[in-house]
Structure 1
Amino acid sequence: MSSETFDLAVPSDIRVGAGRVAEAPDVLTGWGARRVLLVTGRSPDRAAPLVAALAERGLDVSTFAVPGEPTIDVVREGTAAAAGHDAVVGFGGGSALDVAKAVAVLAVSGADPLVHLEVIGEGRPITGPGLPCLAVPTTAGTGSEVTRNAVLAGDGVKASLRSPWLLPRVAIVDPDLLTGLPAATVAASGMDALAQVIEPFLSRRANPFTDALARDGIVRSARSLRPAFTDGMQDAGVRADLAVASLFGGLCLANAGLGAVHAFAAALGARSGAPHGAVCAAVLAPALAVNLRAVRERGSHETLLRLTELAVLLTGAVDAEPEDVADWVGDQTRALQIPGLATHGLADADTAEVVAAAQRASSMRGNPLDLTDDEVAEILARAR
């Protein structure tokens, strides 16, 4: 399954470590920036120390808050807000980072998002660099600080802007920024990050680079996600584990693809308004169970070996079996109090439409084998 022929796309400068957000002013002044657009989550309050640090260095900072999941209209508003600025900083979860990356590129090209958006737009290539972009994640989930796409909602689906030009110029991953996250955010974002090391490990596009990162990320997530949920990220080692696991997930998905879990996230996120991480968290165990059965029926021996190794990585038991994967993830889902998809308004009547949308999603191409519509519908039913 792991290919010896592959390409890698990563930011040129990734900085990891506690307290390293303090390097942001040096990064921006090193670029010669004077006016900075700071893209945050719903509330810019968490960014107040960064705003103060940038102001102390003489930088003129404007803020733009992303109220929820990123949409085409939000990116349009952010692009307008970026006029006259010479750098963009994304500070927040995946929504803030995706909007920051999109705004940085579109502020220079002047194009509407639909010109470049896949699936529901024209899908034209992005042909040149945008404003320099610094990405600073404050949740341990999407890994958006190191990916070359920005996921936007519109027309009832989620689709991507995708280009190497969307890679942030610098990513700062500071585990201390995770301190005090709400338990529900820890759970949903952490399960998203876990999915983003598991799916690339099982992907048809897996390669030695992503395999190495995925193996390490799976172990880090497996040992630290539940303690993080319990103690609110108070332990420095737990914070570091989840920050690195999320980073590795971003690098893995950008270079090996994903699978059915994220196909559902694309199909359901815009339709239901459910947070991306919440959808991934609800779908992960059912998707693993259905995939295993399909692999046993018609998949490759190599994929089955991968699932066996995954069971060992998750459980720590050298005699673990492939069936232990979905069981372990299901136990984790319950311990983290992850709600089912019905909580987000998914009704039985939506099944056919959601299945069709998931099958069309680009992430489904990385799934370890093709799933039938009935199998996709079964995942959906189990995730309710």
Structure 2
Amino acid sequence: MSLLGMSRYVRIHLPVEVLLGAGALSLIGPELSSLEVGRVLLVYGEGLGYVAERVVESLGGMCVRRVEVEDLCLPPRAGDVEEVARLLRGCDFVVAVGSGEVMDLARAVAARAEPREGVAGGPAALIPIAPGIDRAVSRRVALRGGDRGAVVRMSSPRLYPRLAILDPALVDDSGGSRLAMLCAEILVNSLEVLASSAADNFSLLLAGEALRAALRAPRLSIAEAYWAALCAALACTRCGGGACSALARSLSALYELNYYLAAAALLVPWLEHVIEAARDRLGRALARAGLGSCEEVLGRVREILERAGLLGSLTALGVRSGEVDVVVEHAWTYERSSIEADLGVSDKYSLREILLAAAGRV
């Protein structure tokens, strides 16, 4: 099913128009010119100035206002959205470069802009630098409020960007941390779809393609990982996610944890719980995708996370075991729709068991 290798890049028409492939960044100028964009607000994450420079070059003669923002893989603050939105005045379009946090920030800002004729979704072009591919094709955003753990959730077609450019050639990953966290993103999103009561056949097909690629790590290239992440993201967008990502988002909001580290710490305990509670359903989905038994996949996931240094405990990340019930209530309050689609999690007690198992993992 993979389209990689067929051409230098591919154009995929979805709710979001996606350009995928090495060198796709060079197309952003012509793409925005075709929309008669004249002034751009360029939002980029810390340490990604080198990519921002390439974006400016590709935009040619367009007037560009730049702003560098935090990029900590956390939900963006609602106050940051307000601050950046003020800079949007006088600009036609938002272009964003960074991980998932920057993608969410840019989409929330663009959704406040005046609709542009002929532009579906918000006036934004997103260039995710792994991890965070899933945030570039989503219609949902979660923002941190002023109080600890407070979350503002939004869902709207206006939160879809006009364009997403997935260019693996932009990733500078000499230490391997970006690819490791991207693999965690793919594993979580694809497995949640395979364990979701809301998954249709197309979603299962996409999730199977993504998981098949992710299980090849560490022999997975950045280009292959980008394709797999897109498949997993599209499947997850259709299904709404599951309990693993829901708990990770709650932990990120409550403790200001890197979302991908939290998700990786939860993944094995969550998958063990799903296998126990919904073995037949998950087993059929894995078999249909040609991925082996539940135990084989669990063992491979554990091995991948361990080799990547992501198989840690929540305690090591600073989550106190005495606050497990706080996390459960937070997730149940803000993430219940995602949790209830998860075949392996039926109630708050199930969430508590997963968290306690993750807290004790060494």
Per the shorter chain, which TM-score range? Answer: 0.7 to 0.9
CA RMSD in angstroms, aligned pairs only:
2.3
* Structure 1 segments (4+ residues) deviating >3 Å: 128-131, 301-304, 307-310
- Once residues 83 and 27 of structure 2 are traced to their aligned partners in structure 1, the CA distance between those partners, rounded to angstroms, is 28
1:99-153 C-alpha deviation (Å, 9 max, x unpaired)? 11110012338xxxxxxxxxxxxxxxxxx97752111111144422211112212
Q: Does 2:136 match 1:145?
A: yes
Could you tell me how far apart the structure 2 residues matched to 1:75 and 1:17 are?
Answer: 30
CA distance in 2, matches of 1:151, 1:181: 30
- Residue ranges of structure 1 left out of the alignment (5+ in a row): 1-8, 110-127, 229-237, 314-319
The 5-angstrom pairing of residues 50-61 of structure 1 reads 50-54=54-58, 57-61=60-64
Task: Measure the CA separation in 2 of the matches of 1:340 and 1:193.
Answer: 20
Residue of 208, 227, 241 corresponding to 2:201:
208
Q: Distance in 2 between matches of 1:321 and 1:289?
A: 13
Q: Does 1:350 align with 2:343?
A: no
Is 1:71 matched with 2:43? no
1:8-36 residue CA offsets vs partner (Å, 9 max, x unmatched): x9334211111111001111111111110
Q: Does the CA-based 8 Å contact 1:355-1:373 persist in structure 2? A: yes
Letter in 2 for 1:92: G
Matched, 1:377 2:352: yes
**What does residue 134 of structure 1 align with?**
125
Aligned pairs for 1:1-384 (under 5 A) are 10-54=14-58, 57-67=60-70, 68=72, 69=74, 70-108=76-114, 131-154=122-145, 155=147, 156-180=149-173, 182-223=175-216, 225-227=217-219, 238-296=221-279, 301-309=280-288, 312-313=290-291, 320-338=292-310, 339-360=312-333, 361=335, 362-384=337-359
Distance 1:340 1:106 in 2: 39
Contact preservation (8 Å) 2:209, 2:228: yes
Q: What TM-score, normalized to structure 2?
A: 0.86
The aligned amino acid for 1:87 is F
Contact 2:25 2:55 in 1 (8 A): no
Instruction: Pick closer, same or farther for the CA change 1:74–1:98 going to 2, 3 Å.
Output: same
User: For the residues of structure 2 that align with 1:41 and 1:376, how far apart are their CA atoms?
Assistant: 33
Q: Does the 8 Å contact 2:17/2:163 carry over to 1?
A: yes
Contact between 1:273 and 1:344, CA under 8 Å: does it hold in 2?
no
- What SS class does the counterpart of residue 108 from structure 1 fall into? coil
How many residues end up aligned between the 2 structures?
A: 336
Task: Give me the whole-angstrom Cα distance separating, in 2, the residues matched to 1:147 and 1:52.
Answer: 25
Shift of 1:220: 1.4
CA contact 2:195–2:274 (8 Å) conserved in 1: no
Taking only the aligned residue pairs, the percentage that are identical comes to 28
Cα separation, 2, equivalents of 1:337 and 1:278? 10
Structure 2 counterpart of 1:121: none
| Higher helix proportion | 1
Alpha carbons 1:39, 1:97 under 8 Å: kept: no
The one-letter code sitting in structure 2 at the alignment partner of 1:28 is: L
Shift of 1:37: 0.7
- 1:39 to partner: Cα distance: 1.4
